A = this chain, B = another copy of it.
Amino acid sequence: MSDASSRTAADDVVLIEDGDGVRLLTFNRPDALNAFNQALWCAVRDALAEAADDPEIRCVVLTGAGRAFTAGQDLTEMADPSVFTPTDGSERPEPGYRQLMRVLETFPKPLLAAVNGVGVGIGLTILPHCDIVFIGEGARLKAPFVSLGVTTEASASLLLPATIGWQEASLLLFTEPWIDAAEAVRLKLALRAVPDGSLLDEIMVVARQIGAMAVAPLTTTKKLMLAARGTSVPDAREREEREFAVLVGAPENRAALDAFMTK
Most chain B CB within a 10 A radius of its CB, from A145, A170, A174, A218: A174
The answer, yes or no, to whether A110 is at the interface (CB within 8 Å) is yes
Please tell me which one of the listed residues B206, B224, B250 contacts residue A151 in the complex, with CB atoms under 8 A apart.
B224
The answer, yes or no, to whether A188 is at the interface (CB within 8 Å) is yes
Bitwise interface map of A from 206 to 221 toward B, beta carbon under 8 Å scored 1, else 0 = 1001100110111011
The answer, yes or no, to whether A252 is at the interface (CB within 8 Å) is yes
The answer, yes or no, to whether A261 is at the interface (CB within 8 Å) is no
Contact A225:B167 (CB < 8 A) given known A149-B214, A174-B213, A214-B146: no
CB of B174 within 8 A of CB of A221, answer: yes
CB of B132 within 8 A of CB of A217, answer: no
The answer, yes or no, to whether A260 is at the interface (CB within 8 Å) is no
CB of B128 within 8 A of CB of A228, answer: no
User: A188 to chain B: which residues have CB within 8 Å?
Assistant: 165, 167-168
The answer, yes or no, to whether A181 is at the interface (CB within 8 Å) is no
CB of A224 within 8 A of CB of B152, answer: yes
Please tell me which one of the listed residues B110, B221, B228 contacts residue A236 in the complex, with CB atoms under 8 A apart.
B228
CB of A132 within 8 A of CB of B224, answer: no
User: A162 to chain B: which residues have CB within 8 Å?
Assistant: 166
Residues 167-207 of A contacting B (Cβ, < 8 Å): 167-171, 173-175, 188, 190-191, 206
Please tell me which one of the listed residues B146, B174, B225, B239 contacts residue A131 in the complex, with CB atoms under 8 A apart.
B174
CB of B131 within 8 A of CB of A175, answer: no
Please tell me which one of the listed residues B130, B148, B170, B224 contacts residue A157 in the complex, with CB atoms under 8 A apart.
B224
Please tell me which one of the listed residues B149, B169, B252 contacts residue A225 in the complex, with CB atoms under 8 A apart.
B169
- Sorted nearest first, the 5 A-B pairs with minimum C-beta distance are A157-B224, A131-B170, A158-B228, A214-B252, A146-B217
20 examples of A-B residue contacts, CB within 8 angstroms: A128-B166, A130-B167, A131-B174, A146-B213, A146-B214, A146-B217, A147-B217, A149-B216, A149-B217, A150-B217, A161-B225, A162-B166, A165-B188, A169-B225, A171-B206, A174-B210, A174-B218, A175-B206, A175-B210, A220-B247
Known contacts A146-B213, A151-B224, then 8 further A-B pairs from the complex at CB < 8 Å, ordered by chain A residue: A131-B166, A146-B217, A149-B216, A157-B221, A163-B165, A174-B218, A217-B247, A228-B236
* B-binding residues in A (CB < 8 A): 59, 110, 128, 130-133, 145-152, 157-158, 161-163, 165-171, 173-175, 188, 190-191, 206, 209-210, 213-214, 216-218, 220-221, 223-225, 227-228, 232, 236, 239-240, 243, 246-247, 250, 252
